Amino acid sequence: MKVILAIDRFNTAIGKFAGWAILILTFAISYEVFARYALRAPTEWAFDVSYILYGTLFMLAGPYALARNAHVRGDFLYRQWTPVTQAKLDLALYILFFFPGIIAMAWAGYKFAAFSWLIKEHSSNSPSGPPLYHFKSLIPIAGVLMTMQGLAEVARCVICIRTGEWPARLHDVEETEKIILEKAAAAQGAPTAGNAI
């Protein structure tokens, strides 16, 4: 559990740090709209900044969302199952689909980033042409972070299959739906949804 929670903490810290990209992106786009319509002087850099920051946020939020068990799933059936059944299904899906896809992304992303560094790639979307090789390096990095978090999730599945209960997760924020379900379960005296959300 110490290793699992250490991986959770690491990916949570990276996700929270990447979350600041939302603030920078908001200011950049707001300035672009102001400059374009009020000053009649659109910027050269707004498009590049927007897709680089959004891409960074998207890639680095993936491991955070997995650590928080916040990825979308069709849980209308899943939440009705016992934790052991949930863990067995999750384990099978991680092995059959998650790891092959993520490892392929990390491997292809490494080649993609290496080539970008080799040619010192710059954006062709604007005259200023900011460098892209730093940004493209996030593809294999995100793949490695997702693989680490995936291994932590597999360990959670194995623990749940052995004990019949999902192991604890870090708590920093909660989904509104999870809070509502737990309150409803407590009012009915039923077990909580646990890891189902």
**Residue partners of 25: CB distance under 8 A and separation at least 6:** 49, 50, 53, 54, 57
Q: Give me the helix-helix angle, 138-163 and 46-67, nearest 10°.
A: 20
pLDDT attached to residue 197: 44
CA distances from 152 to 110, 147, 175 (A): 23, 9, 21
pLDDT in tens, 61-111: 999 999 988 877 777 788 889 999 999 999 999 999 999 999 999 999 999
**pLDDT higher for 95 or 173?**
95
pLDDT of 194 > 60? The answer is no
Q: Quick one: how far is CA 83 from the chain centroid?
A: 23
- Which residues, including other chains, have CB under 8 Å from residue 185's CB and lie 6 or more apart? 191, 192, 193
**Whole-model pTM?**
0.81
Average pLDDT over residues 34-52: 91
CA distance 27 to 14: 21
Delimit the domains of the chain by residue range.
2-196
pLDDT of 71 reads 77
pLDDT band at 149 (very low <50, low <70, confident <90, very high): very high
Q: pLDDT at residue 11 above 80? A: yes
Could you give the CA distance from residue 70 to residue 63 in angstroms, rounded to a whole number? 10
pLDDT at 196: 47
CA-based angle 142:145:149, to the nearest 5? 135
